[in-house]
């Protein structure tokens, strides 16, 4: 796929050539690459806000008892930390940024199928995020329900739940439209000769993700509207005092929100699947198994939602059915991990920053995945439900998995995005700080969780002090690593990046860095004998 190198007279996508210049040119763009970058900048802002809130929690938890603020403020902080991180960072995350930037190029297209809809999705994202953030400052104070908005408390609390819920509802629309756009793009705009089983695996993961976005997100949209209707009209969907069923809320919420975990993690797996063959210079092991396992995760992941509800009072039958299904979803996830490791075996490994982060992903995702199985088992779940153990498991998947894959993707595609290299030494240091800080922050939470530390508690017993303090210091290291990464990428210009700095074989490495406005001068065509990841 890399043989045909063309020199493009067309200017790079970073150059303004249209009607508008500067900021207006960016705000009105329909170029998938610019929209991808706009998502990235927005997410960096939201991520910084989310991390700051996270550190405020860690600071308060440094000693038992009240230190800086009271329990109501603590409830507001963990709620908005969750809303920002889940709905504006990790759910759109890799799909919105790198799906937009890289996917159309990787399948040999000039843009996504509906470029204007793509820009509209971005503005819905900004609008939804703004409403969710504004909920902190409007009405009767920040919502205090947690990001899950569990009924009946979310019906009765006097805090500003409606704005936060409506923000999440709008964000859902952005997600659905992006998913729809990606499905049509991959069906209709693949390069001639690129059949589905010749498509690179990052687009494959986005394809599976897009189906979850389209099919699952409307359910949470309706559910969130039901919360608003219940608050305003007292209908009685979920509130027992009105004849409703609070467990119904949990079913409806998790029917979306568990597949949402796969909306987050599938593109992350796709990124790792791109990075490993590139930095081992070896054909991916088990191409079809990885492609189909993405679909299998999307499908089976749809039916495991009630493992969040073992202690809710639902029937015993449902509990064992969902426990069984939860164990099934581990199979396609494990297929991917085995294939990544098999790809590395006897490969010509080059340990560059993206590869380091990919290794970090595998390590952290494995811990997150294995602890997920212990949570999926009925007997152990009863003991660790709603403890810090769940906090640790969840962050190992969402931050250790999605976050590290996001950082890997930034380091991988940065030269293509900006046409500049970065300082590898600094990038490696950022990995050291992020990886060490992450484990120091979250691993103690497993231990104090097993010891009985409840999650979402403002205060704790003295025996949990050491674990909480280690977590604080881990958080400091993590933030340091994040700052080093930002300095590495954005402080000063590196050397000019070649078109293909890593020796990759997918289409984005055949075009200049940064890419020209319409990606390809001559539209690529895939020969009968060509395969993705054709290294040897």
- Give min distance, CB of 343 to another protein, in A: 31
Question: Residue 205 is encoded by which pair of tokens?
Answer: 């993961």
d(Cα 531, Cα 505) in Å, to the nearest integer?
A: 10
The residue behind tokens 């991808």 is: 36
Integer-rounded Cα radius of gyration of the chain: 23
In the list 127, 134, 184, 215, the residue contacting another protein (rule: CB under 8 A) is 215
CB of 286 vs another protein, minimal distance in Å? 25
> Of 119, 171, 247, 489, which one interacts with another protein (CB under 8 A)?
247
Nearest to 291 by CA among 367, 186, 219: 186
Give the contact letters, 151-190, x = binds to another protein (CB under 8 A), - = no: -------------------------------------x--
* Shortest CB 259 distance to another protein, Å: 10
- Give the shortest CB-312-to-another protein separation in angstroms: 9
Number of residues binding to another protein, judged by CB under 8 A: 17
Q: Are 85 and 50 in contact (CB under 8 A)?
A: yes
> Could you tell me the two tokens for 101?
């930037």
CB of 313 to another protein, least distance (A): 8
Residues 285-324 that bind another protein (CB under 8 A): 299, 302-303, 306, 314-318, 321-322
How far apart CA 197 and CA 22 sit, in angstroms, is 40
CB closer to another protein out of 327 and 424: 327
Span 80-139, contacts to another protein by CB under 8 A: none
Beta bridge partners of 387: 454
- Position of tokens 């998947």? 397
Site residues for another protein, 187-206, by CB under 8 A, read: 188
Identify which of residues 55 and 255 has a Cβ nearer to another protein in the complex: 255
Contact pattern for another protein over residues 411 through 440, marking x by CB under 8 A: ------------------------------
The conformation of residue 237, written as its DSSP 8-state character, comes to S
Q: Which of 255, 377 has the CB closer to another protein?
A: 255
The single-letter DSSP state of residue 303 is: G
* 54 vs 376 by CB, closer to another protein: 376
Please list every residue from 322 through 341 that binds another protein, using CB under 8 A.
322, 325
Tokens representing 99 are 């799906």
For 129, the token pair is 């995020």
Burial of 467 (0-12, 13-18, 19+ CB in 10 A): buried
Q: Which is nearer to another protein, 65 or 313 (CB)?
A: 313
Q: Which residues pair with 12 in a beta bridge?
A: 516
Encoding tokens for residue 279? 């930095």
Contact with another protein (CB under 8 A) among 56, 235, 255, 289: 255
CB of 318 to another protein, least distance (A): 4
Nearest distance, CB of residue 112 and another protein, angstroms: 15
> Shortest approach of another protein to residue 329 CB, angstroms?
14
In which residue are the tokens 């390809």 written? Answer: 520
- What CA–CA distances, in Å, run from 186 to 139, 202, 478? 44, 12, 37
Q: Which two tokens stand for residue 449?
A: 């969780």
Rounded CA-CA distance 259/266 in Å is 10
By beta-carbon proximity to another protein, the closer residue of 243 and 462 is 243
Inter-CA distances, 175 with 90, 171, 256, 373, 455, Å:
12, 6, 12, 28, 29
Q: Cβ 189 to another protein, closest distance in Å?
A: 11
Q: Which residues bind another protein (CB under 8 A)?
A: 188, 215, 247, 251, 255, 299, 302-303, 306, 314-318, 321-322, 325
């Amino acid at each position: 796929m890399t043989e045909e190198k063309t020199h493009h007279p067309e200017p790079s996508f970073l150059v303004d050539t249209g009607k508008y210049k500067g900021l207006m040119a960016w705000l009105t763009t329909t170029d998938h690459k610019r929209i991808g970058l706009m998502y990235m900048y927005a997410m960096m802002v939201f991520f910084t806000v989310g991390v700051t809130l996270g550190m405020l929690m860690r600071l308060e938890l440094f000693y038992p008892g009240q230190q800086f603020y009271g329990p109501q403020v603590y409830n507001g902080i963990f709620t908005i930390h969750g809303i920002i991180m889940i709905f504006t960072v990790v759910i759109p995350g890799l799909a919105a940024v790198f799906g937009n930037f890289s996917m159309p190029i990787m399948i040999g297209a000039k843009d996504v199928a509906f470029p204007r809809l793509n820009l509209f999705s971005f503005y819905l994202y900004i609008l939804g995020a703004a409403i969710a953030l504004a909920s902190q400052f409007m009405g009767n104070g920040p919502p205090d329900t947690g990001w899950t908005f569990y009924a009946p408390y979310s019906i009765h609390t006097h805090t500003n739940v409606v704005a936060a819920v409506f923000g999440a509802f709008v964000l859902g629309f952005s997600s659905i439209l992006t998913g729809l756009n990606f499905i049509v793009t991959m069906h209709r705009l693949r390069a001639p000769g690129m059949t589905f089983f010749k498509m690179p695996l990052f687009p494959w993961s986005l394809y599976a993700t897009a189906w979850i976005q389209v099919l699952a997100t409307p359910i949470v949209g309706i559910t969130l509207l039901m919360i608003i209707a219940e608050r305003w009209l007292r209908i009685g969907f979920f509130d027992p005092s009105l004849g409703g069923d609070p467990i119904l809320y949990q079913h409806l919420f998790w029917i979306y929100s568990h597949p949402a975990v796969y909306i987050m993690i599938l593109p992350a797996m796709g990124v790792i699947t791109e990075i490993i063959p590139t930095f081992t210079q070896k054909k991916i092991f088990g191409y079809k198994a990885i492609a189909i396992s993405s679909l299998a995760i999307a499908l089976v992941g749809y039916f495991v939602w009630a493992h969040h509800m073992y202690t809710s009072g639902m029937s015993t039958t449902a509990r064992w059915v969902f426990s069984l299904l939860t164990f099934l979803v581990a199979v396609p996830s494990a297929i991917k991990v085995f294939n990544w490791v098999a790809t590395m075996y006897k490969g010509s490994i080059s340990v560059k920053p993206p590869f380091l982060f990919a290794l970090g992903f595998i390590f952290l995702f494995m811990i997150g995945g294995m602890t997920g199985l212990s949570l999926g088992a009925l007997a152990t779940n009863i003991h660790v439900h709603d403890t810090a153990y769940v906090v640790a498991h969840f962050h190992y998947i969402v931050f250790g998995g999605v976050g590290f894959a996001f950082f890997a993707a930034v380091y991988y595609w940065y030269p293509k995005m900006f046409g500049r290299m970065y300082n590898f030494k600094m990038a490696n240091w950022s990995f050291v700080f992020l990886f060490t800080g992450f484990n120091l922050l979250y691993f103690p939470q497993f231990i104090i969780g097993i010891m009985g530390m409840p999650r979402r508690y403002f205060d704790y017993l003295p025996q949990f002090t050491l674990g909480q303090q280690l977590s604080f210091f881990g958080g400091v290291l993590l933030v340091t690593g994040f700052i080093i990464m930002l300095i590495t990428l954005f402080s000063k210009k590196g050397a000019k990046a070649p078109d293909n700095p890593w020796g990759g074989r997918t289409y984005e490495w055949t075009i200049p860095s940064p890419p020209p406005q319409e990606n390809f001068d001559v539209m690529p065509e895939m020969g009968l004998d060509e395969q993705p990841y054709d290294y040897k």
